[in-house]
Amino acid sequence: MSLVFEAIYTDGLAEISYLIGDDEAGSAAVFDPRPDVEIYLELARAKNVAITHVFETHIHADLVSGARELAARVGTAKIFASHEGGAKYGFETVSVTDGNQFTFGSLVITAWHTPGHTPEHVSYLLAEEDHSETPWGVLSGDSLFVGSAGRPDLLGENETANLAAQQFKTLHDIYLRLPDGVIVYPAHGSGSPCGAEIGDRLTSTIGFERAFNPFLQIKEVEAFTQHCIKTAPPIPKYYPRMKKVNAEGPEILGGLPQVRALPVPEFEEAMKNEANLLIDTRSMFAFGGAHIAGALNLGATPTLSIWAGSLLDPERPLLLVLEEDSRLDEVVRLFLRTGFTKFAGYLVGGIKAWGAAGHPFTQVAQISVHELSAANGQLQVLDVRTDREWKGGHVPGARHIVVPQLEKRRSELDPEKPTAVYCASGYRASIATSILKRAGFAQVMNVPGSWHAWKEAGLPVESANGQ
């Protein structure tokens, strides 16, 4: 027997799913799959196992679940989901309850009801058949993270206190009763909004978390609740939508959504349809150098998934401008992960073809932090970072509007005044400049390197209280 254990990390969303099984038995399970499921099928073939079970630890808020897609593509696998806490689904599942066991060769997997992040949340203990009472690992889902814990506030203010109390009980009465040597395999890593300040490592142990996890040091429920609320990052706009989609059952696509290749004349015609949304997925420098007027810049990095979910309407078909036509599938996967399946087409040959056809384009100026500093108040400076980043220090005299609020709050800015936009590195600033350009701002500039460059250059810093 050889244990098959593969962790699949989804960059950008910082989500971790798992393929676990036994190559002698020839069977395996996937836990918390993402929607672009080809990776699990390829891994299963490489490891000589068949995927027979698809498990969900809870109803996800951060991405589209791939459970239905994977089960449909395999054909014989069933979906196992918790109905604890009254959870209901709009598709067929096998109900998982506390104490249920599943065997893959000599590996025994035991379901554990661990409410707190959500009412139905379950974790899965991993043990050897001959030592099933002594687990060596636990798939903790969104209940226990490295240096953190799953946030209890995603179901609204009315549920937060109750879920926080459940989370406190889960951590102290369930997890802390495990031996120190048990390995923790969470469903998220650093950067996920599903928890506060999750650690950089992708695994931990109960002993390490017992000693150093700040959520496990708090001994009173009320203090724990306040800590959860105080440290939680902003809830991305698309989270409630993901909850609904995953409970009802995501559409089974049978593969990546198809995107039509549109030569310049057809692309130009598609742009006339006001329902279509023009998205330029190139880097901020490429976008700044030349782009089609009215385009929103969402660079094709892993964080595109989050920003698409936070800013776009999934019902509007997307018109794509790509860095290279060969990157189409990569870009579609990023959109798919937060529920975008409608595409009006992509521009064949990209911006080069557009320019070669004699069509106009526009630019966004790129200025250095030294130029920004030398402007000495002549520019309208906009900081689009999070509240926490802003409070940690900012460019003197800057205005502060986070990217998701910019569309609604742009009236607070003077559209006739030259405006420089910065974030942490320049990615969010480029999104913001494209929003302002589309809204008619006359002179908009992006600051590559942004706050990181400003601090490295040793330029003046203003604190939240103006000092």
DSSP state string for 222-252: HHHHHHHHHHPPPPPTTHHHHHHHHHH-PPP
The model carries a pTM of 0.95
Q: Could you name the CATH architecture of 3-248?
A: 4-Layer Sandwich (3.60)
- At 257-301, the pLDDT tens digits run 999 999 999 999 999 999 999 999 999 999 999 999 999 999 999
pLDDT, position 132: 72
Common-topology check for domains 261-356 and 365-456: yes
pLDDT, position 377: 83
Q: What is the C-alpha separation between 175 and 181, in angstroms, rounded?
A: 12
Question: What residue ranges of the chain have pLDDT lower than 70?
Answer: 1, 464-467
DSSP-derived 3-state class of residue 434 = helix
DSSP-derived 3-state class of residue 8 = strand
Sheet holding 444-446, edge to edge: 365-366, 444-446, 419-422, 380-383, 399-400
66's CB contacts (< 8 A; 6+ apart) are 33, 34, 35, 36, 37, 40, 250
- What class, spelled out in words, does domain 261-356 have in CATH? alpha beta
Q: Which candidate, 459, 465, 383, 388, places its Cα nearest to that of 428?
A: 383
Q: Are 351 and 326 in contact (CB under 8 A)?
A: no
Q: Please give the C-alpha separations between residue 378 and each of 225, 395, 397, 418, in angstroms, as whole numbers.
A: 45, 14, 11, 8
pLDDT, position 133: 81
Q: Which candidate, 216, 225, 212, places its Cα nearest to that of 151?
A: 225
- Please give the single-letter amino acid code of residue 272: K
What's the Rg (C-alpha) of the chain? 24
DSSP-derived 3-state class of residue 411 = helix
CATH superfamily of 365-456: Rhodanese-like domain (3.40.250.10)
Six-digit token pair at 214?
A: 């700040």
Unique residue bearing structure tokens 């996937």: 30
pLDDT, position 396: 95
Buried b (16+ CB within 10 A) or exposed e, 279-293: bbbbbbebbbebbbe
Average pLDDT score, the chain: 96
pLDDT, position 465: 62
DSSP string, 284-331: HHHHHH-B-TT-EE--SSTTHHHHHHHH--TTSPEEEE-SSGGGHHHH
pLDDT, position 467: 53
DSSP-derived 3-state class of residue 165 = helix
Find how far residue 72's CA is from the centre of its chain.
24
Ordered by start, the domain boundaries in the chain are 3-248, 261-356, 365-456
DSSP-derived 3-state class of residue 50 = strand
Q: What is the C-alpha separation between 454 and 168, in angstroms, rounded?
A: 41
